[in-house]
């Protein structure tokens, strides 16, 4: 796992500032503290920071082909590189190392752009082909590894693994994108391909980008997408056995490393399943780690301990201070743009713990999106039934009115908190799902934003992020929201969180449930094998029954939560007041002060739970204070 950067002169062969390239590279030192390297030539500069995982003694980057025509800087792991190496050797290519980096280099020479279709793993890389005068960038299919890029006013194209590398460049325009602000306060993150800056983009998962010198007309090209077309008609038992077999293979190829390896073990279904399969593949005890919380409402460590005991893992657990909010300022520096998932706090801590024992860990991320584990999927299918029963002419006005008049009962039992559901049913399927996942709903954003920001938005609404996928999203209601989450929430929130938190500790995280071959196969499973009645991940849980205790499989989902609501009424009460009502947010000109006052007073009085909105504003303020001053 590494960090990459680059500068490319699209127009000509102007000299690249090597000291600037070095500053960009060193801004990502944490991603690769083992080694660093630079390559410059007229009109091109590549940088690389290395975290050594395989072939520790060689594989330094940027790497050159033996004929000197091709240069590569690469972040990630390609798990099928031994098979690809055999193919390339049969074609006449000779190898000087035993690492996957050199395989990508010659895969490009052998197969060109289509080389990415042969790679199985997580990756973001840039190749310079001197003979073709072409820069080629690619990102893995699910977006496990990040890649940012921008075209500068002087005709230079820059890229990097993190946004902070690009902001080192003095010519990068840093004008915030108003539509990204709308997206952020809707989703809690800024979905691909946008960033907070108008001039900077994320290369989307499953996309590549080729730029030929002298041709400024370039655009990303999609090379992969997942297709939800259920074709599996086998008995559930057979499907479950095949699921375990396919996952076991995905786990096995991710256990190859020349450094200590382990796994996150939260006590949930996905991580426990991964650990169970790892234990069956390893002659030595698996290294596992988890964190615990003092509050039993948030604590899964008991279940993690049971799995660790069953499989005799070398288990480490540490308790997180229930008031562990010292990381708030640190987080804004990690993510480089506004990011509002508060579970980044415990994720940072579990990565910190894992690094004490290992350099590579396997995680269970991706199970909820692929196998329908989120509770919101169940609610969406309920809402879809209501939409299918009532004609739009009756449903829309009826439920829109009910949603408006029904009170917001944050303090009441869940069964009485129906306002969001009523409002969602009053919308079409895609807009309804957008409403259910929004951190701040439409009406709240309308009150929060100033008139100036509303003018700058020119009518744009964040639901358009979902509308981009109308043509490619499947018709089945459950498959549709799974597809939307794979395109937005998984990459923009979950994988971003894990990448930055792990790389802050120079820890590599591998994700077997996001193996693209496994993802493609899971997309063919009938929806009722994923969500059966009230049971999400139905077929996965059934298949894991021989491997895990019943209450690990079938207890209510907990998640990596932190007690924000209590923090904001207790130890962080004054900080909330100072931050939300202080000068930074006001100086942006984007927020209505009266509504900010309303949020603070209503939450701290206990009348409303505005913890999600407050956290989002705290993280936005930290970004603005550090980057927009």
* Residues catalogued as catalytic: 2
Taking alpha carbons only, the member of 185, 147, 145 closest to residue 340 is 185
Identify the bridge partners of residue 288 per DSSP, sorted by sequence position.
263, 315
Distance CA 620, CA 625 (A): 9
CB neighbour list of residue 289: distance below 8 Å, 6 or more residues apart: 262, 263, 264, 265, 315, 316, 317, 350, 353, 354, 357, 361
Both tokens of 256, joined, read: 């190859």
Other C-beta atoms closer than 10 Å to the C-beta of 156 total 22
Residue 52: CA count within 13 A, CB half-sphere: 13
Distance CA 383, CA 400 (A): 13
Q: Parallel, antiparallel, or unpaired: how do β-strands 207-212 and 156-160 relate? A: unpaired
CA angle 412, 413, 416 (to 5 degrees): 80
Distance CA 45, CA 17 (A): 8
Cβ atoms 84, 118 nearer than 8 A:
yes
Both tokens of 353, joined, read: 């713990």
Assign 295 to helix, strand or coil.
Answer: coil
Distance CA 429, CA 545 (A): 34
Distance CA 492, CA 339 (A): 9
What strands lie across the sheet with 156-160, from one edge to the other?
35-41, 44-50, 2-9, 156-160, 148-151, 200-202
Cβ atoms 112, 156 nearer than 8 A:
no
Distance CA 524, CA 539 (A): 13
Other C-beta atoms closer than 10 Å to the C-beta of 450 total 16
Cβ atoms 32, 49 nearer than 8 A:
yes
471 burial type by CB count under 10 A (0-12 exposed, 13-18 middle, 19+ buried): exposed
111 burial type by CB count under 10 A (0-12 exposed, 13-18 middle, 19+ buried): middle
Both tokens of 534, joined, read: 């009230």
Taking alpha carbons only, the member of 211, 222, 219, 208 closest to residue 157 is 211
Both tokens of 443, joined, read: 């009406």
Whole-Å CA distances, 253 to 83, 248, 409 = 12, 9, 49
């Amino acid at each position: 796992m590494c960090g990459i950067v680059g500068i490319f002169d699209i127009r000509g062969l102007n000299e690249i500032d090597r000291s600037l390239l070095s500053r960009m590279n060193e801004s990502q030192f944490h991603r690769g503290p083992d080694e660093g390297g630079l390559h410059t030539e007229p009109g091109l500069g590549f940088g690389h920071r290395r975290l050594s995982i395989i072939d520790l003694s060689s594989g330094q980057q940027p790497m050159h082909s033996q004929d000197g025509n091709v240069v590569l800087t690469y972040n990630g792991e390609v798990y099928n590189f031994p098979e690809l190496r055999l193919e390339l050797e049969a074609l006449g290519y000779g190898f000087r190392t035993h690492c996957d980096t050199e395989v990508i280099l010659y895969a490009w020479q052998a197969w060109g752009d289509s080389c990415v279709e042969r790679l199985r793993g997580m990756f973001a890389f840039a190749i310079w082909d001197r003979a073709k005068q072409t820069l080629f960038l690619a990102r893995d299919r699910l977006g496990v590894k990040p890649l940012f890029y921008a075209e500068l006013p002087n005709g230079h194209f820059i890229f990097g693994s993190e946004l902070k590398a690009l902001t080192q460049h003095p010519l990068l325009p840093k004008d915030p994108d108003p539509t990204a602000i709308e997206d952020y306060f809707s989703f809690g993150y800024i979905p691909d391909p946008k960033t907070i800056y108008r001039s900077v983009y994320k290369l989307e998962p499953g996309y590549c980008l080729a730029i030929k010198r002298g041709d400024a007309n370039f655009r990303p090209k999609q090379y992969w997408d997942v297709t939800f077309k259920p074709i599996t008609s086998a008995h559930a038992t057979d499907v479950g056995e095949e699921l375990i077999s396919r996952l076991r293979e995905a786990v096995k190829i991710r256990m190859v490393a020349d450094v200590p390896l382990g796994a996150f073990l939260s006590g949930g279904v996905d991580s426990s399943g991964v650990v169970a399969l790892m234990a069956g593949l390893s002659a030595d005890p698996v290294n596992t780690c988890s964190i615990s919380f003092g509050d039993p409402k948030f604590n899964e460590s008991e279940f993690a301990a049971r799995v660790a005991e069953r499989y005799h893992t070398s288990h480490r657990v540490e308790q997180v201070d229930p008031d562990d909010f010292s990381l708030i300022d640190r987080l804004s520096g990690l993510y480089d743009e506004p990011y509002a998932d508060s579970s980044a706090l415990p994720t940072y801590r579990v990565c910190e713990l894992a690094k004490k024992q290992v350099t590579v860990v396997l995680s269970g991320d991706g199970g909820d999106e692929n196998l329908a584990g989120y509770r919101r999927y169940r609610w969406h299918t309920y809402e879809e039934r209501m939409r299918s029963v009532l004609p739009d002419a009756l449903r829309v006005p009826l439920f829109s009115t009910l949603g408006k008049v029904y009170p917001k009962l944050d303090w009441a039992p869940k069964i009485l908190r129906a306002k969001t559901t009523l409002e969602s049913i009053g919308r079409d399927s895609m807009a309804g799902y957008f409403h259910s996942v929004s951190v701040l709903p439409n009406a709240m954003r309308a009150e929060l934003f100033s008139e100036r920001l509303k003018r700058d938005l020119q009518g744009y609404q964040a639901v358009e992020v979902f509308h981009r996928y109308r043509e490619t999203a499947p018709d089945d209601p459950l498959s549709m929201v799974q597809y939307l989450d794979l395109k937005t929430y998984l990459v923009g929130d979950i994988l971003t969180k894990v990448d930055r938190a792990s790389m802050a500790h120079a820890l590599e995280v591998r994700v077997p449930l996001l193996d693209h071959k496994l993802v493609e196969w899971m997309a063919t499973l009938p929806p009722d094998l994923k969500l059966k009645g009230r049971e999400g991940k139905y077929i996965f849980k059934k298949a894991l029954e021989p491997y895990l205790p019943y209450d690990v499989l079938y207890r209510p989902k907990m998640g990596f939560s932190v007690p924000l609501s209590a923090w904001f009424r207790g130890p962080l009460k004054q900080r909330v007041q100072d931050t939300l009502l202080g000068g930074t947010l006001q100086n942006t000109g984007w927020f209505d002060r009266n509504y900010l006052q309303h949020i603070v007073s209503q939450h701290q009085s206990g009348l409303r739970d505005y913890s999600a909105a407050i956290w989002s504003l705290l993280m936005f303020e930290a970004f603005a204070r550090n980057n927009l001053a």
